């Protein structure tokens, strides 16, 4: 599609999900200012997925798979390799951004699974992973999504939940504070500061409890591609980019890739 007007107008004119206007604006915020950088006439391509039930109705939210925006001076592409991330942004074929880590420079202090509870004692299920870090250390959203809870939960202390679509929710607990402006209903993007490490709830010391839930059930974040890695793009991500380019007719290498 060609952009003449806002991204929102272009999406609705083509019956594409309106929510992608928000998602794309947030995901590409570091690379493009949709109000300033678009002069009209830019080429835009979008691929998304929806789950269709046997009776033909659509279940859940549509999920972005691939997006390509051709500006006058560069090409931006966005590849989602999993339902809720990681999402990688490419500029002229070079990976420039991906879903973020929940905390940087912390020590992994407790893994997912059964363990002796540090406060209650006894063997209990640990539903997330803990990162030990000083009180006040910045906590970031691991992917783009919508804040569905920001408040206090017994045991978890000060907690933020972010819904990433596709049934995936991330939880950040034991926080000392919720970042200014973060409230239920607001959209965040990967890497946004949402709060700070604390020791609220049932803890033996300051740590971030990071939990990933799929359809309401805690899963091991390490087994989830939703848990971002530090690298920007893996070989698989680059393969995914190449696949989307060929499937959408944008053959790799024709847009002056830098590498």
In the complex, which residues of this chain contact Zn ion (CB under 5 A)?
Answer: 128, 130, 209
Dihedral sign from CA coordinates of 192, 193, 199, 205? positive
- What is the spatial distance between Cα 175 and Cα 168, in angstroms, rounded to a whole number? 21
CB of 209 to Zn ion, least distance (A): 3
d(CA 78, CA 176): 34
Closer of 125 and 251 to Zn ion (Cβ): 125
Smallest distance, Zn ion to C-beta of residue 218, A: 10
Q: What percent helix, strand, coil does the chain show, rounded to 5? A: 10, 40, 45
- Give 14 or 107: the residue with its C-beta nearer to Zn ion: 107
Residues 6+ positions from 24 with CB-CB distance below 8 Å: 7, 34, 64, 67, 78
**Shortest approach of Zn ion to residue 214 CB, angstroms?**
18
State which residue, 189 or 209, has the beta carbon closest to Zn ion.
209
Tell me how far, at minimum, the Cβ of 104 lies from Zn ion, in Å. 18
Partners of 45 in the beta sheet? 68
Q: How far is the CB of 88 from Zn ion (least distance, A)?
A: 28
Burial 82-115 (b: 16+ CB within 10 A, else e): bbbbbbbbbbebebebbbbbbbeebeebbebeee
Residue closest to Zn ion when measured from CB atoms: 209
Contact 42, 3 (CB under 8 A): yes
Closest CB to Zn ion among residues 165, 198: 198
Query: Considering beta carbons, is residue 143 or 221 the nearer one to Zn ion?
Result: 221
Judge whether 205 and 131 are in contact, CB under 8 Å: no
Is residue 97 within 8 Å of 88, Cβ to Cβ? yes
Nearer to Zn ion, 62 or 128 (CB): 128
For residue 14, the minimal CB distance to Zn ion (Å) is 44
Q: Residue 198 Cβ, how far from Zn ion at the closest point, in Å?
A: 13
Nearer to Zn ion, 68 or 209 (CB): 209
The CA–CA distances, whole Å, from 61 to 50, 77, 123, 225, 249 equal 7, 21, 37, 19, 26
């Amino acid at each position: 599609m060609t952009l003449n007007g806002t991204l929102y107008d272009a999406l609705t004119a083509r019956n594409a999900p309106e929510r992608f206007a928000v998602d794309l604006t947030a995901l590409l915020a570091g690379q493009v200012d949709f109000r300033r950088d678009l002069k009209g006439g830019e080429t835009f391509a979008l691929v998304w997925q929806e789950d269709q039930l046997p009776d033909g109705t659509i279940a859940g939210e549509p999920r972005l798979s691939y997006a390509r925006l051709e500006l006058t001076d560069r090409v931006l592409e966005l590849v989602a390799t999993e339902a809720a991330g990681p999402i990688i942004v490419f500029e002229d074929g070079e990976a420039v951004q991906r879903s973020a880590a929940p905390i940087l420079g912390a020590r992994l202090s407790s893994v997912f699974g059964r363990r002796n509870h540090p406060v209650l004692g006894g063997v209990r299920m640990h539903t997330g992973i803990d990162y030990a870090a000083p009180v006040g250390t910045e906590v970031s959203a691991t992917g783009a999504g919508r804040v569905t809870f920001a408040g206090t939960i017994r045991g978890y202390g000060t907690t933020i939940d972010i819904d990433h679509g596709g049934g995936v929710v991330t939880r950040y607990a034991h926080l000392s504070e919720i970042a200014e402006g973060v409230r239920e209903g607001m959209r965040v993007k990967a890497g946004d500061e949402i709060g700070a490490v604390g020791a609220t709830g049932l803890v033996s010391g300051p740590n971030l409890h990071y939990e990933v839930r799929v359809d309401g059930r805690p899963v091991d974040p390490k087994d989830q591609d939703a848990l971002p890695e530090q690298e920007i793009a893996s070989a698989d991500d680059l393969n995914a980019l190449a696949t989307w380019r060929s499937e959408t007719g944008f053959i790799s290498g024709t847009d002056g890739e830098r590498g």
